[in-house]
């Protein structure tokens, strides 16, 4: 429990550091040693869940900018849905950051975008959201996001709202974005088994587990980074990009 609470505390601080609108965290309180811990955070008075709010272009842009920031700083929220976005004083606030993943696969980052597009379109319409999205993302990136959205990638609450809404929002986004093959959720396939074996050989098991798990992260995930839709972006170039994204770190 302590570790979970501490992780959420860290996630809030990390996001706040990068200008994401999250609740201010005051840190952990120990309730029962080694058993119960409580994270004390700011409470947003008079905030409403996005699902119950009227939204305008300011909120749409803030939602899209939020995902752009996730991409730029190398994190994924992994649970973008109406209940985890609040609107207060006409501005968007993010909650429930305990599932934040640092250095996620590009596929997970694409899923954050597809869910944000859907959440925003539920309160408005896909044409408007798509038009705003093209200011923060390239059409190719939006197409990747739409291609990543398959069944399980959409949180249950969001799926229920989409069903109740009835409009084919995802299909409409797919029509608006350039054509792109679906990116399937990664599964064990012959190709992935071969990749896994190769990665284990190249890196030595235990020597560079992170590298190996990145490679075994699956064809689908790596494909999500590739604008041409064929070759995976090399891991070393991703590492270089990650280093370049660290604020204040000068390369030597
Ligand atoms: N800082 C906050 N200020 C105001 N309301 C909040 C705050 N954090 C969460 N909520 C409300 O509580 C609900 C559940 O919180 P959340 O952190 O998403 O927990 P859960 O893990 O149960 O999903 C949210 O949907 C939101 O309506
Ligand atoms: Mg929640």
Model confidence pLDDT, tens digit, residues 57-92? 999 999 999 999 999 999 999 999 999 999 999 999
Task: Indicate if the pLDDT at residue 204 is higher than 70.
Answer: no
Contact 147, 115 (CB under 8 A): no
Structure tokens at 5: 């609470």
Residue 100 within any structural domain of the chain: yes
Residue 76 within any structural domain of the chain: yes
Structure tokens at 68: 């752009």
3-state secondary structure of 19: coil
pLDDT at site 84: 98
**Looking only at Cα atoms, what is the longest distance across the chain?**
56
Residue 27 within any structural domain of the chain: yes
Residue 184 within any structural domain of the chain: no
Contact 242, 193 (CB under 8 A): no
Read off the pLDDT of residues 210-226 as tens digits, 9 standing for 90 and up.
333 333 334 444 444 44
Residue 132 within any structural domain of the chain: yes
Residue 21 within any structural domain of the chain: yes
Looking up residue 49, the CATH number of its domain turns out to be: 1.10.510.10
Residue 214 within any structural domain of the chain: no
Angle, helices 139-148 vs 126-136, to 10°: value is 120
Structure tokens at 6: 């501490």
The finding on whether 95 has its CB within 6 A of some atom of ligand 1 is: yes
Task: Indicate if the pLDDT at residue 230 is higher than 60.
Answer: no
Please count the structural domains in the chain: 1
State the Cα angle at 52 between 51 and 56, rounded to 5°. Answer: 80
Residue 204 within any structural domain of the chain: no
C-alpha 46 – ligand 2 centre gap (Å): 17
Pick the atom of ligand 1 nearest to 49's CA: 27
Pick the atom of ligand 1 nearest to 44's CA: 3
pLDDT at site 188: 58
Full domain range(s) for residue 12: 2-176
What DSSP string describes 98-150? TT-EES--HHHHHHHHHHHHHHHHHHS-HHHHHHHHHHHS-HHHHHHHHHH--
Distance CA(128)–CA(131), nearest Å, equals: 5
Read off the pLDDT of residues 168-192 as tens digits, 9 standing for 90 and up.
999 999 999 998 877 666 555 666 6
The finding on whether 53 has its CB within 6 A of some atom of ligand 1 is: no
């Amino acid at each position: 429990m302590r570790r979970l609470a501490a992780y959420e505390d860290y996630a809030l601080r990390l996001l706040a550091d990068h200008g994401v609108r999250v609740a201010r965290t005051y840190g952990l309180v120990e309730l029962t040693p080694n058993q119960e811990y409580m994270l004390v955070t700011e409470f947003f008075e008079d905030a409403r869940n996005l699902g119950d709010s009227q939204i305008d272009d300011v909120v749409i842009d803030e939602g899209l900018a939020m995902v752009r920031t996730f991409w730029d700083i190398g994190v994924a929220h992994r649970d973008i849905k109406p209940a985890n976005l609040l609107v207060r004083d006409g501005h968007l606030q993010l909650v429930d950051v305990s599932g934040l993943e640092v250095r996620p696969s590009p596929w997970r980052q694409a899923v954050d975008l597809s869910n944000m597009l859907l959440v925003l379109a539920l309160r408005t319409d896909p044409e408007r959201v798509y038009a705003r999205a093209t200011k923060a993302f390239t059409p190719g990136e939006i197409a990747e996001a739409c291609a990543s959205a398959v069944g399980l990638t959409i949180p249950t609450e969001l799926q229920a709202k989409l069903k109740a809404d009835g409009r084919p929002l995802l299909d409409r986004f797919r029509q608006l974005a350039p054509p792109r093959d679906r990116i399937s959720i990664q599964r064990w396939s012959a190709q992935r088994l071969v990749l896994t074996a190769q990665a284990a050989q190249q890196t030595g098991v235990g020597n560079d587990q992170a590298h190996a798990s990145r490679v075994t992260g699956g064809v689908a995930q790596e494909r999500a980074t590739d604008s041409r839709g064929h070759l995976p972006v090399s891991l070393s170039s991703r590492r270089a990009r990650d280093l370049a994204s660290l604020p204040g770190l000068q390369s030597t």
